[in-house]
Amino acid sequence: MSQSEEKFEYVSSATLPTRWGQFRIHGFVETDTDQEHVALSYGNWEEGEVVPIRIHSECLTGDALFSTRCDCGFQLEKALQNIVEHGKGILLYLRQEGRGIGLLNKIRAYNLQDNGLDTVEANEHLGFDADLRDYGICKIMLAELGVKRVNLMTNNPKKRAALESLGVEVVNRTPIDHGITDDNRHYLRTKTEKLGHEFDPHLLK
């Protein structure tokens, strides 16, 4: 195990019934920061099998407070639904609010967006990079769950590149073009144009 991998530690697992089905929830911690992350797993798989996964960064406003100014909550629900329909899969839920800037700074960024900046400009105006997320823990989480080959549900090619750099084989990338509304259409266009996300362009008109 590399020095960077040693800062991540598996904690415990339990059953987690949801509206879509009964998952297992697995807790992990970054030992140097005490930051906590979870994985939800559903079904069983053989060694070497390609498993559908979603890497989802925490979004309190979208995931829990039903905001429509982003597509996060919509994608979270769609990913869980897809996993259950497939009969197996994993959702890695990373505590990286606001692409890594934290909840209160995200609210500050929202205020700047209310006054004309886009999501990238707002983060940069606050002194942050456009995206500060670190996907290093994903390798430990997947290894704990016995997965080395994945079908990655995402519109963000950088997530694929991050997993591949960690030695995880991404056999396929499946887009989630879901939850596009009048409230978040400009936000999603910005993610496409400035952050490299891939959406069906007809859906963003």
Which residue is associated with the tokens 């995402």?
154
Tell me whether residue 193 is annotated as binding.
no
**In sequence order, which residues have a C-beta less than 8 Å from that of residue 95 and are 6 or more positions away?**
35, 36, 37, 58
Segments making up each domain of the chain, as ranges: 3-96+135-196, 101-132
Give the model's pLDDT for residue 186.
Answer: 86
Instruction: Locate 203 and state its tokens.
Output: 């859906």
Q: What is the pLDDT of residues 70-119, one digit of tens each?
A: 999 999 999 999 999 999 999 999 999 999 999 999 999 999 999 999 99
Average pLDDT over every residue of 10-26: 97
Q: Which residues pair with 150 in a beta bridge?
A: 51, 170
The encoded tokens of residue 113 equal 């967006």
Q: Which of 14-28, 78-92, 167-181 has the lowest mean pLDDT?
A: 167-181
pLDDT(67) > 60: yes
Is residue 24 predicted with pLDDT exceeding 70? Answer: yes
In this predicted structure, the answer to whether residue 2 has a pLDDT above a threshold of 50 is no
Say whether 94 sits in a helix, a strand or coil. strand
Joined together, the tokens standing for residue 201 give: 């362009």
State yes or no: 159 annotated in a binding site: yes
**What is the rounded CA–CA span in Å between residue 148 and residue 165?**
13
Both tokens assigned to 59: 């979004």
User: Known catalytic residues?
Assistant: 131, 133
Q: Fold for domain 3-96+135-196?
A: Rossmann fold (3.40.50)
Its pTM stands at 0.92
- Judge whether 98 is annotated as a binding position: yes
Asked if pLDDT for residue 30 goes beyond 80, the answer is yes
125 is in an annotated binding site: no
Confidence of residue 203 (pLDDT cuts 50, 70, 90): low
In this prediction, residue 3 has a pLDDT band, given cuts at 50, 70 and 90, of: very low
Return d(Cα 56, Cα 63) in angstroms, integer: 10
Model pLDDT, residue 37: 97
Whether the pLDDT of residue 201 is over 80: the answer is: no
What is the mean predicted confidence (pLDDT) over 174-196? 85
Task: Give 74 or 193, the one with higher predicted confidence.
Answer: 74
| pLDDT the model gives residue 184 | 85
The arithmetic mean of pLDDT across residues 49-53, rounded, is: 97
- Per the listing, tokens 């999501």 go with 119
For residue 6, what pLDDT band results from cuts at 50, 70 and 90? low
> Is residue 1 very low, low, confident or very high in pLDDT (cuts 50, 70, 90)?
very low
- 70 annotated as a binding-site residue: yes
How far apart, in whole angstroms, are the C-alpha atoms of residue 198 and residue 86? 23
Please enumerate in sequence order all residues whose Cβ is within 8 A of that of 66, keeping only pairs 6 or more positions apart, or say none.
73
